[in-house]
Structure 1
Amino acid sequence: MVTVLLHFRGKVLKCSGCQFVYYCGRACQRDAWGDHKWECANFKRVAPKVLPDGARMLAKIINRLYRGDGHSFRSFYSGTSFRMWKDLMSHYSDLKSDTKRMDHFTSLSVVLYEFLKDISLPNTVELMGLYGRMVINSFMILDIDMNSIGTGIYLASSILDHSCDPNAVAIFDGKTINIRAIKDMPCLDWNQMRISYIDLMKTPYDRQTELLQNYYFLCQCDRCMDENQLKHVHGAICLNKQCNEPVTIPWKEDCLLVRRPEKTEVNEPSNSKTEKQEENSTDLNKIEENGVDEKDALHCKECGTKYTDKHVDVFVKTMEFTHLHLQNMERASVAYVDVCQYCLDRQEGVLHPLNVMHAQTLDHAFDALIQVQLWDKACAYAEKLIPCFRFYYGDRNPLLGLLHLKYGKILLFKMDIEKALAQLKCAEKIIKMTHGDRHPLYKEQLLPLLQQAIMES
């Protein structure tokens, strides 16, 4: 395992030698010294220059391979099956044609040449192979609230394929990764286990694009091709208040919801970072992009209620407005209560409750309201957000469990005991499955709240 922690919440200790690396405590610092000792001297030598996280990760890999046991290290995922560094695919040809990543690789190479004076760098081809294995096979290390705090390479876990309808999840306890099944399987078969590499609350087209750009494969899992999801992701609300069916209305030119291949082939249900993926990498230029069927776009297919030009115009402007502000919030890495509230007010009675932009806005708003401690509004948004999480993430996703936990905690604070207990029981059912009953989230956060709610009731 090679890891780079990017940040840590709470009180931290700085390395007195390089003044660059931080630790959560003395014990953590002692445990890390064997790995940090060699890089500490290099950090001091290049100071005050700061080493980018990607360069530091690659430097740790080079040190482990050429000074340690990196080439021979075996990481077991069963009693007899294991993976080694050489088993990871580099995607060399894909990288060569990826301008953005080649620019990143070039910049890292320059930095590494100066940083690793005590180690002879591999030649360019070998170094690009190391870089490819790093960017394709790394995992985001998540804290207890499912926020990214670092990056790590876990050889055994890298065997897992991707699906937008996963049957397993990767959960972290500190730097330790745990793979936990969330669906029943006849037997433990690693070839059949799937996790999601990306956030699932997006359109199939956006998910496929992200996977193509970052992992060089076109996802064609059942969920991406699910017609029920396609009609909801950009759906308008039906004007008939008795009808819950979404209405499909094109809101911009070439509004694409899914990518389909030109030829119908028998594909793997999901794609992996392994040899299957290397052989079946999909060229973006060979993909036929299918959008919305406009002839059926202006009326509800369920009840026949028609949309007027005025209603269509309102929907289009609402989608454009929401799309712009979601992009701004993503770039700013922060959500503002007033902006979210304004977007949601405009979406009311226009966007379908499961429209992905509505769901994303609710998610931003809920987090923003917690930050400013506006509990009543946070509860109102949590009620609307839960069905969205179930639709996009599924019934057994850790993010849904965490949402129930946060909502239950707020209700308990407000002394709405009956509702709090119901939410915390939902959280327990999910988190016990996704995290296990020994995980700090279950033992230290959920159980005390659940016991308090039971006593109060």
Structure 2
Amino acid sequence: MARKPGDEILRCLPYAHVLTKTQIRKRCHFCFARCDQFEICSGCQTYTYCDIKCQELDWPIHKSECQCLVNVLPEIPSDSTRIMLRLVIRRQNGDDTKTFGANKLYQRRFVDLMSHYSEMKTYRECYDRNELSKLAGNKVELPSHDVLLEIYGKMLINSFQIPDEFLNKIGTGLFLSSSKLNHSCAPNCAYTYNGSEQIIRALTHIEQPTPEKMFVSYIDNAMPSWERRELLCQNYYFHCMCRWCVQESKQIDQIMTSVRCPDSLCFGFSGFTKDESGRMQLLPCSSCGKTDFPVEFGKEALRLWVYGNKMVKELKQMDEKEDHEGVLKLAENVLSEFDESILHKSNLQFIRIRELAKGACIELELWEKAAAYGEQVYMQKIKCVPHPSSSIGLQLFEQGKLLTNALKIEKALGILIQAENILRITHGIEDSIYLELQDLIEQCEDFLNLPNMG
């Protein structure tokens, strides 16, 4: 049966999953819910559950894992080591040859997943065998190195980061049913999460909603085609041939890497892409069609792109250290440099730096300034991600809240309605984020309908 935008297609629980270190003892380790009161495992005193039911559901794996955690306390191993142990336990329990999935179209076994074993063995850094051996101790018998490498490959290629409602990572999970869906940088489906449960919805009309006709994006696709392809090759071992990477690559790359046309009388922009050999290719101006750019113009466009990447990395490192004032100061200095450069306002590096500046303003409770940066971000970013995107929807929701805090209610309402149009599709009308959004829209409408007391 055909599916329209927003229709739910699939719900699946993870085959194996773990909370990030920072979320342990803050959330239920089975359903990932936040709770005021937890049931703590009496054995390891590490994993917590929202109730006995979740603890019992997790017990088939945790009963073997429990003593392993005791052996290494107070240390908590990395996320990848802990999920590797869970996959080994699944294998010992005979679960790797069992078929999982309520929907027959999406049923799958762990043994059927691709591991790209040969590429993994040659090119990838291996799992931390010492940490895994220390965690397993004498409680769980580890298989051979070759088997572990195969499990590791399947884990890397088929795992998803599980975010909270605001896209902050809270865990990692491997989902067998959704692993049947292939990648596209211009997907027709999207996944969201209700705790540890994954939900797949249609973004566009899908005449035949079968796995081979449905596509999700494995990565954040707000990057030029060559960066996306490089990331996909490194992590998933394929060369993307979707329409964003082939038919529409130049058009999208031009927006993301946009630089002002050197003709002072033209208000258009050029940009660049990279061919299969990695050679940079300047694109015609969007307005005057100019193609004969000076050599130095192309070099400067590339230099600014590389410099932007460096600054984004530096700012993210500062943000992780919670140096919000430092982030804002450096971001504003970089933006001043960009303003004086050939970069066009739609250049992705402008967007990335402004996003980080906005985040710092939120932490410093500079609401009007955060709203000003937020407006610049979403107005340009929406050009880079034209299909319905949960990240754009959530950014608009956040922008609406910032404008509400700044008491710009009428403007906030317009932004929130735009967010509602997207999140209704990506999240569904029963999602907690969507319900919170609807509540804020009603509050804004009520405020605007109040009688004028002046």
Question: In structure 2, do the counterparts of structure 1 residues 142 and 49 end up closer, same or farther at CA, with 3 Å as the change threshold?
Answer: closer
Is the aligned partner of 1:450 residue 2:438? no
Aligned to 1:127: 148
What's 1:229 paired with? Answer: 252
Aligned match of 2:63: 37
1:164 is aligned to 2:178? no
- Superposition RMSD in Å: 2.9
Offset at residue 411 of structure 1 (A): 1.4
Q: Conserved in 2, the CA contact under 8 Å of 1:240 and 1:305?
A: no
The corresponding residue for 2:10 is none
TM superposition shift of 1:135: 0.8
Q: Which residue of 1 aligns with 2:235?
A: 214
CA 1:109 to 1:91, structure 2 compared with 1: closer, same or farther past 3 Å? farther
Once residues 54 and 305 of structure 1 are traced to their aligned partners in structure 2, the CA distance between those partners, rounded to angstroms, is: 48
Please identify, of 9-18 and 418-427, the stretch whose mean Cα deviation from structure 2 is larger.
9-18
Q: How does 1:135-214 map to 2 (within 5 A)?
A: 135-214=156-235
- Aligned in 2, Cα 1:363/1:24: closer, same or farther, shift over 3 Å? farther
Q: Is the contact made by 1:55 and 1:112 (CA closer than 8 Å) also made in structure 2?
A: no
Q: Please, which of 95, 114, 134 is the counterpart of residue 89 of structure 1? A: 114
Separation in 1, partners of 2:227, 2:299: 24
Confirm or deny that 1:53 pairs with 2:53.
Answer: no
Residue type at the aligned position of 1:383? E
Maintained 8 Å contact 1:46/1:115:
no
Rounded Cα–Cα distance in structure 2 between residues aligned with 1:114 and 1:150: 19
Q: Which residue of 1 aligns with 2:348?
A: 356
**Partner of 2:89 in structure 1?**
63
1:120-168 deviation digits (Å, cap 9, x = unpaired): 3222222211111111100111110011111101100001111111111
Could you tell me whether the CA contact under 8 Å between 1:300 and 1:306 is conserved in 2?
Answer: no
Alignment counterpart, residue 308 of structure 2, candidates 322, 342, 365: 322
User: Aligned partner of 1:233: which letter?
Assistant: M
| Counterpart selection for 1:337 from 318, 328, 339 | 328
8 Å Cα contact 1:362-1:385 kept in structure 2 = yes
Picking from 372, 376, 381, the partner of 2:364 is 372
* Whole-Å separation in 2 of the counterparts to 1:122 and 1:313: 52
**What is the alpha-carbon distance in structure 1 between the residues aligned to residue 131 and residue 406 of structure 2?**
55
Q: Which has the higher contact order (CA 8 A, sep 6+)?
A: 2
User: For the Cα contact (< 8 Å) 1:42–1:115, is it kept in 2?
Assistant: yes
Does structure 1 residue 101 correspond to structure 2 residue 125?
A: yes
1:431 to 409, 423, 427: 423
The corresponding residue for 1:274 is none
* In 2: Cα distance, 1:289 partner to 1:306 partner: 20
Structure 2 CA distance for aligned equivalents of residues 217 and 119 of structure 1: 34
Q: Which residue of 1 aligns with 2:413?
A: 421
Tell me how far 1:424 sits from its aligned partner: 0.9
Report the CA distance shift for 1:127/1:318 in structure 2 as closer, same or farther (over 3 A): closer
Pairs aligned (count): 414
- TM-superposition CA deviations, 1:207-258 (whole Å, max 9, x none): 1111111111111222123211222332212356774422347xxxxxxx44
Q: Would you say the 8 A contact 1:369–1:375 is kept in 2?
A: yes
The 10-residue stretch of structure 1 (357-366 or 173-182) with the greater mean CA deviation from structure 2: 357-366
Structure 2 Cα separation of the partners of residues 316 and 68 of structure 1? 53
- Structure 1, unpaired ranges of 5+: 250-256, 261-287
Say if 2:351 and 2:380, in contact at 8 Å, map to a contact too.
yes
Cα deviation digits, residues 74-123 of structure 1 (max 9, x gap): 224x345511112201111110111x423xx2x23663365252333222
Verify the 8 A CA contact 2:61 2:90 in the aligned structure 1: no
Which deviates more from structure 2 when the two are superposed, residues 150-159 or residues 237-246? 237-246
Residue equivalent to 2:100: 74
SS in 2 for 1:101: coil
Tell me the distance in 1 between the aligned counterparts of 2:196 and 2:316: 26
Structure 1 range deviating more: 60-69 or 329-338: 329-338
Match of 2:281 among 292, 295, 298: 292
Higher alpha-carbon deviation: 169-178 or 204-213: 204-213
Query: Does structure 2 conserve the Cα–Cα contact (< 8 Å) formed by 1:143 and 1:172?
Result: yes
Distance 1:316 1:61, change over 3 A: closer
Aligned pair in 2 of structure 1 residues 27, 325: CA closer, same or farther (>3 Å)? farther
Greater mean alpha carbon deviation, residues 434-443 or residues 361-370: 361-370
Please tell me whether the aligned partners of residues 96 and 111 of structure 2 are also in contact (alpha carbons under 8 angstroms). no
SS at match of 1:352: coil
The partner residue of 1:2 within 16, 25, 28 is 16
Deviation at 1:174, TM superposition (A): 0.2
In the superposition, the TM-score normalised over structure 2's length comes to 0.82
| Identity over aligned pairs, percent | 28
Q: CA deviation at 1:429?
A: 0.8
